[in-house]
Amino acid sequence: VRFDDNRVEVTKEIHAVRAMPGSDWQPLEITPGLPPERADVVIVGGGVVGWSVAYWLKRKERIRDGVRVLVVEKDPTYSQASTVLSVGGIRQQFSLPENIHLSLASAEFLRSINEHLGVLNEDPVDLQFNHSGYLFIASEKGAGIMEENYRTQRYAGAKVTLLSPAQVKEKFPWLNTEGVALASYGLENEGWFDPWSLLNALRRKAISMGVYQCFGEVTGFRYSTHSMPTDDSHQMSFKRIRYVNVRMPNSLEYQPVECAIVVNAAGAHSGKVADLAGIGSGPKDTLAAVPVPVEPRKRYVYVLHCPDGPGLDTPFLIDYSGVYCRREGLGGNYIAGLSPEEEEEPDTRDLEVDYNFFQDRIWPLLAHRVPAFECTKVASAWAGYYDYNTFDQNCILGLHPLVNNMYFATGFSGHGLQQSPAAGRALAELILDGGFRTLDLSALGFERIFHQEPVLERSIV
């Protein structure tokens, strides 16, 4: 396999011995771009999480070509993919220890990224990582929670420090400390980077290790069902996915890919993919009726230009009102946004930007916190999807109890990029080792959804 720019040219040498039963070799290749007829693991979704799982699966296989991995991505241009539309931040300031460990492990991975993802004779990976840290600001109400979170974060190994309003004013004189009771500042392993470089690095390395890539849409699963009685003699039916139907772009032609394991890493569309497998369509008040609680939520991101704005020391500022802002480049540009309330969630049919949202909601809060932003103008804006977990806004990592071979790595609710290397490793351990080995993320499995016990994260942006 040779990797040339962004295209993969597969030069196959046809030897008679390759035409043995069980091989892929076809005498007539009619449609280019069809996926192979058989794969061990099919990963639905070619974003940063999907490629991270593919990379770690290949890295953990003990024999060469031991696992055949296929990554199926709907859109080759990644025009609506959450990965590339992400603001690109990474932080360890969470309240849930599992989230902190995921981010810390991902930062470790990014620190030595060229050891992990370096390909011979190709350029080294350049993430353009800005080590500026996150600054969380809390009011009187939230100061207690921030202190508790600080203890959890320090215990988990994150390098965070608490600052009083006076210290904040001394460190960042451009900040208005009115209403600030406490601030939490990340000193190491926090900042922002370029998500497209990470995605391409993972993709390039995974393809060089032999992962198959297919551009097509998963339109259905063929599964076999078998029922078993429970202790109180109810019949429970379990599914096992046998074939994944992958439809080619702009065509009705589809290829059923016979597979052993399916990984749902489809991001904002994971709920739809789960529906295709029949999850959530059982009789009412049974386990089979519980759908996967992941849905797309649209978030706006605005690029601001302010020549007198804060300088090189600008951290990723997150106010207690929810508005966030970070520096972009060296030319006085900034990126800002805000998560809307439940009632004013925008329509997710398209990715059109509402500029009034900035004028009405973001700008007053931002100008109050950073007075320099009173005279700023919006240079441009974009919108992207969060794969929002409506249950408790934390990721779902694990096997579904009712579909015996479907793993989920979804529902990151805005943290997918920063947790993707560690989440990919965790899922590869689940698949190949049968359980978590490096990080114990069993609290993030499906049990909590079926038991209706939300594992809440208190600091979401």
Partner 1 sequence: MCVSVARPYSTVARSPSTPLPLRSKLLFFLSQHFYDVEQLRCLLHPKFKGWIQVSISFHTSVPLCESFTSLAYVFALWFVFSSAVARSVSHRFSGQSEWFRPNEKGKFSWDFVNFQEHPIEEVDVSGTVINCTGLDNLGTAKNLRTLSLRGCREVDDWFLSRLHIFQESLEELNLSGCPRISVGGLCALHHLRKLRKLDLSSLPRVQNPGLVRILLEEVLPHCHITGVEYDEGLQAFQEEKDSEALSSTGTGA
Tell me phi and psi for residue 39, to 5 degrees: -150, 155
In angstroms, rounded to a whole number, what is the distance separating the alpha carbons of residues 394 and 416?
10
Under rule CB under 8 A, residue 308 binds partner 1: no
69-73 vs 212-215, strand pairing mode: parallel
For partner 1, the binding residue among 23, 26, 128, 286 (CB under 8 A) is 128
For partner 1, the binding residue among 95, 130, 376, 419 (CB under 8 A) is 130
Minimum CB–partner distance for residue 329 and partner 1 (Å): 9
Minimum CB–partner distance for residue 452 and partner 1 (Å): 40
Under rule CB under 8 A, residue 251 binds partner 1: no
Minimum CB–partner distance for residue 166 and partner 1 (Å): 15
Q: How far is CA 54 from CA 60, 178, 379, 449, in A?
A: 10, 48, 37, 26
For partner 1, the binding residue among 311, 364, 371, 454 (CB under 8 A) is 311
Under rule CB under 8 A, residue 132 binds partner 1: yes
Under rule CB under 8 A, residue 164 binds partner 1: no
Residues in 325-364 that interact with partner 1 by CB under 8 A = 330
Under rule CB under 8 A, residue 307 binds partner 1: no
For partner 1, the binding residue among 148, 313, 447, 453 (CB under 8 A) is 313
Under rule CB under 8 A, residue 153 binds partner 1: no
By beta-carbon proximity to partner 1, the closer residue of 191 and 384 is 191
- Tokens of residue 63, six digits: 């024999």
By beta-carbon proximity to partner 1, the closer residue of 109 and 320 is 109
333-338 vs 323-328, strand pairing mode: antiparallel
Minimum CB–partner distance for residue 170 and partner 1 (Å): 9
For partner 1, the binding residue among 51, 55, 56, 129 (CB under 8 A) is 129
Using the contact rule CB under 8 A, the part of the chain among 93-101, 276-284, 306-314, 356-364 near partner 1 is 306-314
Using the contact rule CB under 8 A, the part of the chain among 43-51, 52-60, 68-76, 189-197 near partner 1 is 189-197
Q: Mapping DSSP to helix (H, G, I), strand (E, B) and coil, where does residue 333 land?
A: strand
Under rule CB under 8 A, residue 312 binds partner 1: yes
Residues in 95-114 that interact with partner 1 by CB under 8 A = 111
DSSP labels, 223-282: EEEEEEE-TT--EEEEEEEEEEEEEPTTSS-EEEEEEEEEEE--GGGHHHHHHHTTTT-S
Burial class of residue 185 in the structure, from the number of CB atoms within 10 Å of its CB (0-12 exposed, 13-18 middle, 19+ buried): buried
Under rule CB under 8 A, residue 187 binds partner 1: yes
Closest CA to 445 of 403, 395, 402: 395
- Tokens of residue 333, six digits: 């540009």
Closest CA to 48 of 267, 374, 219: 267
Using the contact rule CB under 8 A, the part of the chain among 125-133, 136-144, 339-347, 415-423 near partner 1 is 125-133
Cα–chain center distance at 197: 15
Under rule CB under 8 A, residue 131 binds partner 1: yes
- Tokens of residue 390, six digits: 């409506």
By beta-carbon proximity to partner 1, the closer residue of 45 and 133 is 133
Closest CA to 202 of 43, 432, 89: 43
In angstroms, rounded to a whole number, what is the distance separating the alpha carbons of residues 208 and 450?
39
Under rule CB under 8 A, residue 191 binds partner 1: yes
- Tokens of residue 131, six digits: 């080590």
Minimum CB–partner distance for residue 334 and partner 1 (Å): 14
Minimum CB–partner distance for residue 200 and partner 1 (Å): 18
* Binding residues for partner 1 (CB under 8 A): 111, 128-133, 187-189, 191, 193, 311-313, 330
